[in-house]
Amino acid sequence: MSPSDEPKHPPLRSFGRIKSRAIKPRQAALFDTLLPGIALPDPKSGPIDPAALMPGAAAVWLEIGFGGGEHLAEQAARHPDTLMIGCEPFLNGVGSALRHIDERDLKNVRLHADDARDVMTALPDASLDRVMILFPDPWHKARHNKRRLVQDETAAEIARLLKPGGRLRFVTDWKDYAEWALERFERTPGLVWQAEAADDWRTAPADHVVTRYEEKKLGDTAPIFLDFLRT
């Protein structure tokens, strides 16, 4: 059997648990009432056309791993003419996001309660104006680094999806992951790091939304902000 004939294995899971405590009754109800109307089409069933999800959208943003949905909901509220696609496999986080969307009556959010990489594969070239990865699972033990979301393949896929002039933001509070991600993004054709001085990665951008997770300070450093431009 030649290498090209060998069966392809799915990528390693880049996230940990998909559920912890019982989902609160109100949030659980939203899985039945709200989520069906804003869920993305199954990415494994075929291509996803962002224009069909929100006709007339001025831009399309993707947040990979939206946690509790605070950042996603706030950005959606600030940019009502932008289609916000959020992916998160942790069901408690999805429930929290549904609550935020419901309370703020947001009409420009579409969710995928599973691995973002399936959605990325289903999206067409140059279809995104912005990609955001905030505080992904660090997998900080060396033997687990292969499970990190940011790999060369992921970086290349992001570059494929971003329009010329589109932007990628990666934020982490683990020094090693920041170095790891920077190395891979910088060697990806088409992605150009925008930092010119230390404050550019040490200081939160003006449009950054601080979440409860960030306030817990679980990493080994203050948040590091890496912004890239798609050339």
What ranges do the domains of the chain cover?
Answer: 16-230
**Is the pLDDT confidence value at 100 over 90?**
yes
Tokens of 53: 């999800």
Residues 6+ apart with CB under 8 A from 71: 63, 132, 134, 209, 211
Asked if residue 63 belongs to a known ligand binding site, the reply is yes
When pLDDT is cut at 50, 70 and 90, the band that residue 160 belongs to is very high
Which position has the higher pLDDT, 190 or 5?
190
How many other CB atoms are there within 10 angstroms of residue 57's CB atom? 18
Beta bridge partners of 225: 171
Q: What is the DSSP letter of 142?
A: G
Asked if residue 199 belongs to a known ligand binding site, the reply is no
pLDDT at 11: 56
Pairing of strands 224-230, 191-193: antiparallel
Burial 8-18 (b: 16+ CB within 10 A, else e): eeeeeebbeee
Terminal Cα-to-Cα distance of the chain (whole angstroms): 39
When pLDDT is cut at 50, 70 and 90, the band that residue 14 belongs to is very low
Q: Are 100 and 83 in contact (CB under 8 A)?
A: no
pLDDT at 20: 53
pLDDT at 205: 97
Asked if residue 70 belongs to a known ligand binding site, the reply is no
Fold of the 16-230 domain: Rossmann fold (3.40.50)
DSSP symbols for 176-214: HHHHHHHHHHHTSTTEEE---STHHHHSPPTT----HHH
Asked if residue 115 belongs to a known ligand binding site, the reply is yes
Please tell me the least confidently modeled range out of 4-18, 32-46, 129-143, 205-219: 4-18
Cα 56 to chain center, whole Å?
23
pLDDT at 220: 95
Pairing of strands 191-193, 128-134: unpaired
Q: Which of 81, 137, 176, 207 is catalytic?
A: 137
Residues 6+ apart with CB under 8 A from 27: 95, 96, 98, 99
Q: Is position 137 annotated as part of the catalytic site? A: yes
Q: Are 172 and 224 in contact (CB under 8 A)?
A: yes
pLDDT at 90: 92
**Is the pLDDT confidence value at 185 over 90?**
yes
Asked if residue 177 belongs to a known ligand binding site, the reply is no
